Amino acid sequence: MEVTDQLIDHLAKLSKLSFNAEEKQELKSDLQKMISFVEKLQELDTTGIEPLTHMGYSDNALRDDVVKGMVSREEAMLNAPVKDDQFFKVPKVINPQ
Amino acid sequence: MFRFTTIKDYHNALLNGTTTCVDAVRFYTQSIKDQQHLNAFLEVFEEEALAQALALDNQRNGSIQGKLHGVVVALKDVICYKGHKVSAASRILDNFTSIYNATAVEKLLAEGAIIIGRNNCDEFAMGSSNENSAFGAVKNAADETKVPGGSSGGSAVAVQANMCMVSLGSDTGGSVRQPADFCGVVGLKPGYGRISRYGLIAYASSFDQIGIFGNNIEDVALTLEVIAGADEYDSTVSTDAVPEFSELLKTEDKKYRFCYFRQAFENASLDVEIRTQIEVFMKTLTDAEHSVEIVDFELLDFIVPVYYVLTTAEASSNLSRYDGVRFGYRNTANSADLSDMYTNTRSEAFGKEVKRRIMLGNFVLSAGYFDAYFTKAQQVRQLLINQTDQLFNNYDFIILPTSPTTAFSFGAHKDPVEMFLADIYTVYANLVGIPAISLPLFRHQNNMPFSLQLLASRDSEVSLLCVSQNLLHQKRDR
């Protein structure tokens, strides 16, 4: 599996990360090493083995659905970097340009 | 002058009036100041700890109320303590204040523990050397040119260098056991689901577990007893009654069945002296009429790849919450729209290792690669669990080294894969969810400590702690 510039760009987009040219080169070589390393898994025959999807003790932990509060609005907004007294504020979702 | 040995002795001294909680807190805050250059603490809650200590001293009336009365505890900077900052040693959580207590912290406080501060660590607990912190590396007090291990490096050094009595870390692939090994302290990772993860900043949720650093088994057992148990905020926690670990600790005269993996001890990366000393130790076990058998473990070479596929996948998903909207750092300068803001914020405030792991995680989860990498790794994880169950039909404990080498120098591992391989002996316990402990039994001729790692079957913390107690006492008595 070869790590190409296109793959790096695609993954950066999925990750909501951006990299300059120099970082991209370094990342390309690092990811190439990391992916070659994990490719070792292909050597194992896992036919018929169910993939493990849960580590918990039981599949379901059921409880009654009770309405209760957890945090106040003030607490919930305490750490917001940009806000008014009721809302989290964000830049325009769609930039008109 | 204040001197700490065990929590039990400390409680006796409090009852005898030969010391006070205030003495203890003063001693530790001074010790932290004197050793600031080790960079083990990101913040010390000095005034508050002193006030708590004073309150405890005043209310104590000839009896100790609370299992951890006056016990001075440090928290890895990934565990939430209400009204206090927590940052996962990342710039992206700059100025973040916890609005609730982690369940483990809630339980510590309810038993009278005093939280003294938060410990430096690798950013988002990703690393094996503590060099990935946004706030600088931590130094190993045994040799300051060496790393303390990671990711809970600060918590290990805090216990190693007498800056607290016990500390909590988190262990996703060895992040408690490996720094315990490098620093010469006891490090326990309980089985998956023993301690609630509520309020532990998530890295890889099916691997993460809060772990405990201490000077001895008694203190670790007592702390575990306090913080373990069912929690309505974490459905993965075992709902079984929590054993009274500290009461059940006894130096029993029992013959155990140990096994060790041929592939682990014949691995080329394992330091020759570590191998030899552990082999000599195993001989003393057989001399004492325990059985120690070698078994084949063909999957050893696959466990680090499985670990990195699954943990990076889970991390890429867990870390998507850091978007600059509801909490943490935001890039406000040059973002044209919302999507730009997300990207600028994350690119600016995440460190290099975190970005690398998010990228790898998104690779193994992306269309076209999902089955070949992610599903494949989940299958191998199931295979590992099946083999582990079989092993524990025949044996009580597995013996492994904790790390292939003693603490290495800063900057020794530049290559990410090389650094991954340092985790070869620790990730197994997290992959299969079993408890494991790092016991500081050895000293290398390079003068650094190293440990024996013991693993037990799921839910077998009691026997793991008992045998650990036995082995440490044996070593001391010899």
- In the numeric block, which tokens belong to residue B201? 């900043």
The CATH architecture to which A5-41 belongs is: Orthogonal Bundle (1.10)
Distance (Å) from the alpha carbon of B45 to chain A's nearest alpha carbon: 20
Q: What is the pLDDT of residue B332?
A: 87
Preferred mutation among B342, B363, B378 to probe A, highest tally of A CBs within 10 A: B363
Q: What is the pLDDT of residue B172?
A: 98
In chain B, residues 231-250 whose CB comes closer than 8 Å to chain A: 232, 235-236, 238-239
The three-state secondary structure class of B288 is coil
Q: What is the pLDDT of residue B302?
A: 96
Q: What is the pLDDT of residue B251?
A: 65
**B76 in catalytic set:** yes
Whether the pLDDT of residue A60 is over 80: the answer is no
Closest CA to B465 of B260, B181, B245, B304: B245
8 A C-beta contact, residue B212 and residue B224 = yes
**B128 in catalytic set:** no
How buried is residue B355: exposed, middle or buried, by Cβ count under 10 Å (0-12/13-18/19+)?
A: buried
Residue spans of the domains in chain A: they are 5-41
**Contact between B308 and A38 using a beta-carbon 8 Å cutoff:** yes
pLDDT tens readout for residues B395-442: 999 999 999 999 999 999 888 888 888 899 999 999 999 999 999 999
- Closest in A18, A31, A88 to B360, CB measured: A31
Q: For chains A and B, what is the number of CB pairs under 8 angstroms?
A: 169
**Catalytic choice (B90, B133, B151, B155):** B151
Q: What is the CATH number of the domain that holds B379?
A: 3.90.1300.10
**CA pair distance B223, B157, nearest whole angstrom:** 18
pLDDT tens readout for residues B271-310: 999 999 999 999 999 999 999 999 999 999 999 999 999 9
**Chain B residues close to A5, C-beta within 8 Å:** none
**Contact between B356 and A31 using a beta-carbon 8 Å cutoff:** yes
Q: What is the pLDDT of residue A97?
A: 65
Q: What is the pLDDT of residue B477?
A: 67
pTM higher than 0.95, yes or no?
yes
Segments of B159-250 assigned E as strands = 166-170, 186-189, 210-214
**Chain B residues close to A19, C-beta within 8 Å:** 347, 355
8 A C-beta contact, residue B152 and residue B102 = no
In chain B, residues 316-345 whose CB comes closer than 8 Å to chain A: 316, 320, 323-330, 332, 335-344
Q: Report mean pLDDT in 10-residue bins for chain B, 478 residues.
A: 96 97 98 98 98 97 94 98 98 96 98 98 97 97 97 98 98 98 98 97 98 98 97 91 90 88 95 97 95 96 96 98 96 88 97 97 96 96 96 98 97 86 94 98 97 97 95 78
**Contact between A44 and B385 using a beta-carbon 8 Å cutoff:** no
Confidence of residue A59 (pLDDT cuts 50, 70, 90): low
**Contact between B356 and A37 using a beta-carbon 8 Å cutoff:** no
Number of separate domains in chain B? 1
CB of B346 within 8 Å of any CB in chain A? yes
Domain assignment of residue B83, given as a range: 1-478
Q: What is the pLDDT of residue B423?
A: 92
pLDDT tens readout for residues A74-93: 999 999 999 999 999 999 98
